[in-house]
Amino acid sequence: MEAPDPANVRIITTLGHVDHGKTTLMDALLAANNIISHRMAGKLRFLDSREDEQERGITMESSAVSLKFQVKGRPDEERSPKTYIVNMIDTPGHVDFSSEVSTASRLCDGALVLVDVVEGVCTQTIAVLRQAWEDNLRPILVINKMDRLITELKLVPIEAYQHLSRLIEQVNAVMGSFFASELMEDDLRWREERDRRLAEKKNQLADEAEASANDTDDFKEKDDEDIYFAPERGNVVFASAIDGWGFRVGNFAQLYSAKLGFKEANLRRVLWGDFYLDPKTKKVISHKHLRGRALKPLFVQFVLENIWAVYDAVVMNPNTEKVAKIVTALNLKILPRDLRSKDSRQLLSTIFTQWLSLSTCIIQATIDVVPSPPVAQAIRIPKMLYPNIFDKSVQPKNKLEQDLFTSNFAPDAVVVAYVSKMFAVAAKELPENKKRAVTADELCQRVRDVKETRDNSTSVSEIPDPPRAGPESPPSTAPRETSDVSESEIILGFARLYSGTIHTGSTIYCVLPKYNASLPPNHAHNVAHLIPAKVEGLYVMMGRELIPVDSVRAGNTFAIRGLGGKVYRNATLCAPQSIGVPEGTDPIQIQDSLINIGGVTRTVSPIVRVALEPAVPSDMPKLVAGLKLLAQADPCVETFQQQTGEHVILTAGELHLERCLKDLRERFARVEIQASKPIVPFRETAVKAQDMAPSKTPNAARGTIKSASTQNLVTFSIRSAPVPDVILQFLLHNLTTLRALQQDGHTDKNTPGSSIDIVSESELVGVQDDVLHTPSVRADQFWNALEEKCNEAGGEWVNISDKIWSFGPRHAGSCILIDYRKDTTTLSLRRRLSRNHPVQPTNTSDNNVDFTGYVETGFQLAMFQGPLCAEPVEGMAYFVESIDIDTDGVQKEIVQNRLSQVTGSVISAVRDACRNGLLDWSPRLMLAIYSCDIQASTDVLGKVYGVVAKRRGRIVAEEMKEGTTFFTVSALLPVVESFGFADDIRKRTSGAASPQLIFSGYELLDQDPFWIPTTEEELEDLGEKADRDNIAKGYMDSVRERKGMFVDRKIVQFAEKQRTLKR
């Protein structure tokens, strides 16, 4: 494939909700490139290359394809055709695979956002629109499945027009909400920057008024004019991918401008909207001049009625004479046998493909709306490099940025490529390992060689046997070689080249996401994140096929081989020029060519975890190697080994888990695997209930626990209490800010003995299973905002922020340890972090041993594994009221070298005290919850409600889509009850309803796991045995049983009841 002019390249992706027609649309474009048959377009789903994708009918992995189109210029421009290369990436719509959407959109400049005209704006539609907004993509709205308005809903054209208007308004409302939130953020950032500048000037100038007068920088408010979808602007396509047609308003404006005597540009502006054609004056009028006349809008009269007429004549009320008239009127060339065809959908597709070709419309819209790489990168790259900048025009600061902003592909341009994900390909699927197709000339040559050999063998019978064995020997070894090759999986990088030209065989540097560009390459932090690699192969991706190429120019997507074992998930590839990094070059010499574009933001955190083991224990090494490959090849999966030795895999949902297990069994590990039942996270907390048991410590406030270490050397008193809701919500929404504060304090201190540990993002997601909300405050405002919330809570919480000792679990959670001791200097985390001085290590050499560090460790352990079922605790506060140390006794232990036993017993005692403090209140479990969106028609609505209720879910909202018989049902469903939910709901509704499950956090199960009937009413209602199951206890016991903890369960229940034994 020859290298095109970068101005004639486009890189786009398809985005949309599941089953809104993305892969079907891609089929139409592939058919236009003669990759697949036009008859098979929409049925083949060429880019769904996996077997399970074809079986389920949904896309699970993003696929890329490069297409070439010849496009004629406009009438007013040069008419000679131009060759355009369109790199397209088809993405999944299912929420379980939304990480594939994130990785694809990072590489593209534009997006085709598909919306089903009947289902409208769904949950994933909003999610992908937000992704396109964040990645600064230029979107094109494709309103798909227009045929459903005619065949299913049976709307008349005027009703369809009103339905389409409402749909475009809904999508624009979503875009408007993104714009409004970004405008507020930009305004806040500008004000903060201005305040900082004024503070600096105040030191130089006389007073603040003079400083303000001299500040000339005004806030430049962004314009929202170009963010909305409007058919007259050409960024809305009306389509039916299954029937192969699509159009923009401009297509019909071009068609009717000559007939009606209007200029094309003028007609394009009025063809959509409340504009009408006055039949008397033949002029276009607005709705103000209707004067009560029942005229149809231009869009209905000239566009929709024509399409409705074709459907009516071909599908709804078949009429061959009408079809023949339509074909003649439209001047289409259709064979008589096609017109006589009994397959009405095929005839419909044939007519529309010639009249309103979908591929032509999509490609023309892409060329008109989506900018070329040089133009797009000048807008997108500054936002990638400087995320907090709010100025539209950013000037390049050096040659590297100059090359990036202009997509420079000259030989001396800096090579910068971004690998957004890694993917695995079977070695036998690589082009170099495939059998090459034999040409006709080669076949003729083979026949001649065979004839010559036969003639020679008959004429010269003395030819010895060994030479004959020579040609036959390679076939005997070849099968073994190919079997070895076929068994291995090759890891390739899915990348886009932003500048320069990359060649096969050249050496490049892989800059990993944690590389810090402000430090030199040989700095201790950067050495591990800068790895040289040799480019072993470059490929153009064509769906399931890979085409090898020697070089790739800037502005193209490609697959790269040679990064396996070096790049884990994503990286930036850098080289000073197209020949690569010269051998023996020190990274310091090319520091100006190194840049870190950053990681891909993950929108869905994995929540479903499963423990794996091989069926045959000796296959464990294969399973471990397979898990490593899987973790590299799938951007959303997490794999790790628990402390118990179990190998655990975390996935985004049930469907994602099924795909991962299939890949492990068939591709990566190639062994039979046994998977445990899904391990679902819970949270533990306590509430103030009406009828709680008496407090464990008499004559003290509830939750007070007094305890001591061995030999009573350290005695302490800790009081527990639930955190007020206002403080709890604030902490949950600002977990990321809290973690950033802790990490900054840790990096500034550089003390290995500090009590604050840095946890990587994968560990945080893997262990915490939290929903990371967008923070409501920044790090420098955190403590002031927390103080306001504490004062709002009132009571003992007033002015408590300076006494906060630590947060938990893992130093960044919603549990608080508070130093409430009198007559001593409080241990304030706020002061420790603000002063940035190291925490004083526990001193064991002096006479006074400091046990505060061990108290905090005990608190962290108790919060990480609560008393109910060793799950993390949420929303509990612990007030340390006293710590008394027997100094003489401690000194004796030090002399006898037994201090470690004392410190260990302090940690255990504090841990047990914190757990008992929680149990002194009314303990509760918190369930992980899915928010569930289901689209169902009225006839199956009752069955949907039944399935949700059976699984202890609850309906939150139901909304009827205007103009349709569909309801959108929103429900909340416990994750622990969700397994098999999708299959169950499909079976009960005969496939008419399909749910989308998104993890939305934790919700309190308001039931005490230890509750037993005690009052007369309860005993009368339930009896002494409490025949009704305690749901919370059931969940708690199942988790305890899985973890090998003691379960209080009777072997024989209700022994006095009569039992009839089966014979």
Q: Are 637 and 660 in contact (CB under 8 A)?
A: yes
DSSP letter at 48 equals -
Per-10-residue mean pLDDT, the chain, length 1063: 76 94 93 88 87 88 92 67 92 90 92 94 91 92 95 93 94 92 79 78 60 54 78 94 93 86 88 89 84 87 94 91 90 87 88 92 94 92 79 80 90 92 89 78 85 74 43 39 52 93 93 87 87 93 90 92 88 91 84 80 75 93 92 88 85 91 92 92 91 84 91 92 93 88 59 31 43 76 91 89 90 92 85 64 52 92 94 94 91 89 94 94 94 90 93 92 84 93 90 87 91 74 65 92 86 69 60
Express each pLDDT in 700-758 by its tens digit: 889 999 999 988 899 999 999 999 999 999 999 888 888 888 876 654 443 333 332 32
pLDDT of residue 767: 38
327 φ, ψ (degrees, to nearest 5): -60, -40
pLDDT score at 844: 40
pLDDT at 418: 94
Nearest to 977 by CA among 930, 945, 1026, 937: 930
| pLDDT value of position 446 | 85
**For residue 717, which phi and psi values (nearest 5 degrees)?**
-130, 125
Tell the residue number behind the tokens 């994750």, with chain if given: 975
259/256 Cα distance (integer angstroms): 5
Tokens matching residue 228 = 């909305």
Separation of alpha carbons 300 and 306, rounded Å: 9
Distance CA 22, CA 241 (A): 9
C-alpha gyration radius of the chain: 34
Angstrom distance (rounded) from CA 125 to CA 142: 12
Angle, CA of 573, 575 and 580, to the nearest 5°: 115
Separation of alpha carbons 133 and 180, rounded Å: 12
Sign of torsion, CA 312 314 317 321?
A: positive
The string of pLDDT tens digits covering residues 193-202 is 777 778 777 7
Query: Which residues contact residue 662 at a Cβ distance below 8 angstroms, ignoring those fewer than 6 apart?
Result: 52
Q: Which strands make up the sheet holding 815-819, listed edge to edge?
A: 704-708, 714-722, 876-885, 815-819, 804-808
Closest C-alpha among 740, 730, 772, 766 to residue 603: 772
Q: What letter represents residue 880's amino acid?
A: V
Predicted pLDDT of residue 76: 57
Which tens digits make up the pLDDT trace of 779-806? 888 999 999 999 999 888 988 888 999 9
Residue whose pair of structure tokens reads 């009827």 in the numeric block: 960
pTM, two decimals, is: 0.83
